Structure formats: C-alpha cells, structure tokens
C-alpha cells in the first residue's frame, strides 16, 4: 500500500497553479490539511475580518476538493505539532507545502525538518531569489523592480489536477462551524457578503473581468469613487489565485504594467521581511525609535475617533467607515488615512497597523508593515517624514465627493463645492464632528517632532 502524503495549506487555498498539490499528487494518495494555528503566530494570529474570509474560503475549497475526489482535513493547534501527529496517525512520511515569508510560518517550516518539501508559488519569483550583486535583499523597490523584471515573465500557470488520489482511509476532521470564525452577534461583518465572495472560483471570475477592463486602471485607480481597482487583494492574500496567473492575465500595455508593478510590490514586501522578520513591530530606520509619539487620554480619544471615522475630515472618515463596513478600503484612501493618523495625530504607526490587521480582509503581514512604514517615513524604503498628505487637497484632487456621500451619510446633502471641507465652508451638519485637529496645527506638530530627532 502506497503511503499517503500530506498537503499543508495556509495562504494558498487553491487548486489551480498549486505546485505543492501537483508534487503531492505525483507521490501518492494526498491528504489536504488546514491547521488553524492561533499559537505559533502569537501577536499575529489571524484577525477578525480575515477569519470571516477564511471561513468562507475553506468552505469553497472543501467543495472544490470533493469535486476532485479528495477531502479537506481541518485541525487546530500548533501547526508543526499537529502535522507531526497527523503524519504519525496516517503513516505519511512527506509533507508538501508552498513556502511562506511570515516569520512564524518559517519557524514552523524549520520545525518540520526534512520531511517537509517546500515549493514556490505565492510570488512572481521564488522568495529570496531576487538579490543584489552581493547577494543581499533589496531595500529599495525601484531597484528590486528592475532586477525582478529581468526574470519576468514568470512562466505558465499549472493546471488543476483532474483527480486527486485519495487514501484508503481518511483521518478525522474537525468541523468548520466549530471553529467559530464568524463573529457572534452583533455581527459587524454582516454586510461583508454584499461586497465579497471568497474562494478560488470568484477570484478567477474577478481576474477575468478586471483583465478585460484594465485599460481604465492607470487613469482611474486613484479615484475613490471609480470602480477601477482590481479588488483582488484578499484573493491574493489567501492564495485563491496565484500572482503569476494575474501577471499573465493582464495586458502588457501601460495600465497592465502598472498593475504588474503592484504585484511586484507584494514580492518586494515579502522579501524585505525575509531579511527583517520583525518589520511589523520595529522601525526600519532606527532614528525614529526616539520619536515621541503622543500618548495619554487625548491621544487615545483621537485614535478612537480615527477608528470610527469621526475625525471631521470627510475623506478620512469615509475610508475608515468603508473599512469597518466592508473589510476593505480604497488604496489611495488607505494612504490618506494612514498619513493622517501618523502625521496629523502623531500616533504611532503600529496602532494603525494593529487596527488594519484586525479589520482588513486582505491584511498581509509583509504588505501591511511595509505600507505603513512607507507612509510613516520610518521604513527602509519610505516617503519622507516631511511629506505630509493634506487630506482636504487629496479629496478634491481625486474627486472623492461621491465616495464621501456614500460612506458619510451625514454629508449627503452638502454641495459639491463644500463636500471636501464643509466646516471651512460654514455648512457642517450638526451630526458630523468638527475637525479633531486643524491641518496646519497637525502638520506643524509632526514637523517639530521630527526636528527634535536631530
């Protein structure tokens, strides 16, 4: 009797272009396993919004596996220990998995030792393969992009297997419902299903639709009111579609190349945390360790106002309310909202990172950390601290009026001329809060804080 092999699934919940699955099928009967590990990641245990997505993505994957003659086995606990025990239980001597960049997953991979076979498949190029002339990791995206481009295109995607060989006996599986991944009442994720359909099938449908409309991407991607972004980030995060599938799907024209650069940014972020695994908690530039962030009751009140979309800045509030309602925020608005928290409110970027980690369906360790540190100016490759986004100017420049009306209903009746700053125009509705800090005051406070660093 051929011994089974384990397929360890994490953020690679797909059958198409799944190198670990293909390799496992070539060795014998395959037992696909997902381990809900809330212990190994520690502080980085999967956030609440991601848990909603995970529940539905696992359900979709289980159905897809059944269509191929297989089952999805669910277990809880420390991944390395659970997989080791399951290998003993089933007689499996080999575990196949796709390589991950997160430090806790790398630790689990190391713990599994030689019985684990790792495969590349969640990035455009193998993790750690795009290096400088001296063999180090790139710290600047533009240089990374040039080096990565020399390795592109990434090759053809692998087809899904026609059938997955099954073991003679399946091990016991926990029930997905028993994991209680969906929030209990009051269910703040109740409307997520209006915007999202997790799973591989939807990821490919959405990719096909975006590829057909990619011509509008470069011109409209910064307009919050336009439906021009791909909205594929949570599908990418959970590995329901591979980056190379998307690279090959979009045209090589200007708009398509801009999107391909966004895919490359994911590779850059993942490679950066290979070299700096604690990037989600530590400033990339040590100089900023001495920055005096605001703390105390006033700062805590401002943080709560930011989280709830009650800052008095319509574009910021619209973004934060969109985040709470849908688990996602327009990319341009993410930068505006993040800059406002760090610069205008002088609140530590890690507070914002934690909030995004819990409320974004696409919260990704590398992307989240690198993006926050880019906006904050604390990162290895980042915006200058002195470049402070003016949210009111950004709102008008990127025509956010319709977007604001959608997410801040108190301002629905405000005129087009006043929608970006109703307080300054003297028409702020009583139900909408006054600005918690004036733009010039916040900007000056941020500049002074940085000046004290010397």
Instruction: Tell me the per-residue pLDDT of 319-348, one tens digit each, with 9 for 90 and over.
Output: 999 999 999 999 999 999 999 999 999 999
Tell me what percent of the chain is helix, strand and coil, each rounded to the nearest 5. 50, 5, 45
Task: Answer yes or no: do 267 and 309 share one domain.
Answer: no
Backbone φ, ψ for residue 252 (5° rounding) = -85, 10
Domain boundary among 275, 295, 319: 275
Phi-psi region of 42 (alpha: psi -120 to 50; beta: other; left: phi over 0): left
Instruction: Tell me the per-residue pLDDT of 413-429, one tens digit each, with 9 for 90 and over.
Output: 999 999 999 999 999 99
Report residue 383's pLDDT band, with 50, 70 and 90 as the boundaries.
Answer: confident
In this structure, what CATH number is given to the domain that contains residue 247? 1.25.40.80
Task: Answer yes or no: do 113 and 129 share one domain.
Answer: no
Strands 73-76 and 95-98: unpaired
Task: Answer yes or no: do 303 and 438 share one domain.
Answer: yes
The predicted model scores a pTM of: 0.96
Domain boundary among 213, 241, 275: 275
Q: Which residues of 208-235 are buried (b: 16+ CB within 10 A; e: fewer)?
A: eebbeebeebbebbbbbbbebbbbbbbb
Can you tell me the mean pLDDT for 425-449?
96
- Would you say 382 and 376 are in contact if contact means Cβ atoms under 8 Å apart? yes
List the domain range (segments joined by +) for residue 76: 1-122
Query: Is pLDDT larger for residue 247 or for residue 381?
Result: 247
Q: How many residues does the chain have?
A: 454
Can you tell me the mean pLDDT for 11-19?
98
Task: Answer yes or no: do 257 and 144 share one domain.
Answer: yes
Distance of CA 430 to the CA centre of its chain: 36
Task: Answer yes or no: do 301 and 257 share one domain.
Answer: no
Task: Answer yes or no: do 227 and 333 share one domain.
Answer: no
Can you tell me the mean pLDDT for 296-314?
98
Report residue 255's pLDDT band, with 50, 70 and 90 as the boundaries.
Answer: confident
Q: Per the structure, how many domains does the chain have?
A: 3
CA distances from 419 to 265, 333, 340 (A): 33, 16, 18
Task: Answer yes or no: do 252 and 362 share one domain.
Answer: no
* Cα–Cα distance, 338 to 135 (Å, whole number): 33
CA distances from 122 to 33, 190, 262, 419 (A): 18, 30, 14, 42
Task: Answer yes or no: do 236 and 327 share one domain.
Answer: no
Question: Could you tell me if residue 190 is inside a domain?
Answer: no
Q: Return the pLDDT at 215.
A: 86
Domain boundary among 248, 275, 302: 275
Instruction: Tell me the per-residue pLDDT of 77-105, one tens digit each, with 9 for 90 and over.
Output: 999 999 999 999 999 999 999 999 999 99
Question: Could you tell me if residue 281 is inside a domain?
Answer: no
Q: Return the pLDDT at 1.
A: 61
Question: Could you tell me if residue 6 is inside a domain?
Answer: yes
Structure tokens at 168: 């003679």
Give me the residue label for tokens 């509030």. Answer: 317
Question: Could you tell me if residue 183 is inside a domain?
Answer: no
Can you tell me the mean pLDDT for 151-156?
94
Can you tell me the mean pLDDT for 390-395?
96
Whether residue 254 is predicted with pLDDT greater than 90 in this model: the reply is no
* Cα–Cα distance, 380 to 370 (Å, whole number): 9
Q: Report the SS3 class of residue 335.
A: helix
- Would you say 185 and 43 are in contact if contact means Cβ atoms under 8 Å apart? no
In this structure, what CATH number is given to the domain that contains residue 24? 3.40.50.620
Task: Answer yes or no: do 446 and 401 share one domain.
Answer: yes
* Cα–Cα distance, 231 to 293 (Å, whole number): 33
Task: Answer yes or no: do 116 and 139 share one domain.
Answer: no
Question: Could you tell me if residue 195 is inside a domain?
Answer: no
- Would you say 335 and 353 are in contact if contact means Cβ atoms under 8 Å apart? no
Question: Could you tell me if residue 280 is inside a domain?
Answer: no
* Cα–Cα distance, 271 to 171 (Å, whole number): 36
Task: Answer yes or no: do 302 and 242 share one domain.
Answer: no
Can you tell me the mean pLDDT for 355-360?
97
Can you tell me the mean pLDDT for 204-228?
91
Mean pLDDT of the chain: 95
Q: Return the pLDDT at 26.
A: 96
* Cα–Cα distance, 28 to 26 (Å, whole number): 6
* Cα–Cα distance, 22 to 62 (Å, whole number): 17
Report the helix count and the strand count for the chain, using DSSP H and E: 19, 5
Residue 64: HSE in the Cβ half-sphere, 13 Å Cα cutoff: 20
In this structure, what CATH number is given to the domain that contains residue 335? 1.10.579.10
Question: Could you tell me if residue 320 is inside a domain?
Answer: yes
Task: Answer yes or no: do 223 and 333 share one domain.
Answer: no
Question: Could you tell me if residue 38 is inside a domain?
Answer: yes
Lowest mean pLDDT among 157-171, 244-258, 421-435: 244-258
């Amino acid at each position: 009797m051929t011994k089974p092999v384990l397929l360890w699934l994490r953020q690679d919940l797909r059958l198409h272009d799944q190198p670990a699955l293909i390799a496992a099928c070539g060795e014998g009967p395959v037992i696909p396993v997902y381990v809900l590990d809330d212990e190994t990641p520690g502080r980085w245990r999967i956030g609440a919004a991601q848990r909603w997505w995970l529940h539905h993505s696992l359900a979709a994957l289980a159905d897809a596996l059944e269509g191929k003659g297989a089952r999805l086995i669910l277990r809880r606990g420390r991944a390395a220990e659970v997989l080791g025990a399951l290998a003993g239980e089933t007689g499996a001597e080999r575990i196949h998995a796709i390589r991950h960049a997160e430090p806790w997953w790398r630790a689990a991979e190391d713990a599994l030792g030689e019985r684990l076979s790792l495969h590349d498949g969640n990035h455009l190029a193998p993790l750690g393969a795009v290096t400088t002339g001296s063999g180090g990791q790139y710290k600047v995206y533009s240089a990374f992009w040039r080096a990565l481009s020399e390795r592109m295109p990434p090759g053809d995607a692998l087809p899904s297997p026609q059938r997955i060989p099954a073991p003679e006996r399946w091990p016991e599986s926990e029930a997905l419902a028993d994991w209680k991944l969906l929030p209990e009442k009051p269910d703040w994720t109740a409307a997520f299903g209006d915007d999202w359909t997790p799973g591989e099938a939807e990821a490919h449908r959405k990719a096909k639709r975006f590829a057909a409309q990619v011509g509008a991407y470069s011109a409209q991607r910064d307009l919050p009111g336009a439906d021009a972004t791909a909205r594929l980030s949570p599908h990418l995060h959970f590995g329901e579609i591979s980056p190379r599938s998307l690279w090959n799907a979009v045209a090589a024209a200007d708009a398509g190349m801009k999107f391909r650069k966004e895919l490359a940014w994911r590779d850059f972020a993942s490679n950066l945390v290979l070299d700096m695994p604690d990037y989600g908690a530590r400033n990339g530039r040590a100089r900023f360790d001495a920055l005096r962030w605001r703390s105390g009751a006033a700062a805590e009140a401002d943080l709560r106002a930011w989280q709830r979309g009650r800052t008095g800045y319509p574009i910021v509030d619209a973004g934060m309310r969109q985040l709470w309602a849908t688990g996602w925020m327009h990319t341009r608005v993410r930068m505006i909202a993040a800059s406002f928290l760090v610069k205008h409110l002088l609140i530590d970027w890690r507070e914002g990172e934690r909030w995004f980690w819990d409320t974004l369906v696409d919260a990704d360790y590398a992307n989240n950390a690198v993006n926050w540190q880019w906006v904050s100016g604390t990162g290895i490759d980042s915006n200058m601290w002195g470049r402070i986004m003016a949210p009111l100017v950004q709102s008008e420049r990127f025509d956010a009026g319709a977007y604001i009306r959608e997410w801040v209903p108190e301002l629905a009746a405000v005129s087009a001329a006043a929608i970006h700053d109703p307080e300054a125009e003297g028409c702020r509705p009583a139900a909408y809060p006054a600005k918690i800090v004036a733009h010039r005051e916040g900007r000056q406070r941020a500049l002074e804080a940085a000046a004290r660093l010397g």
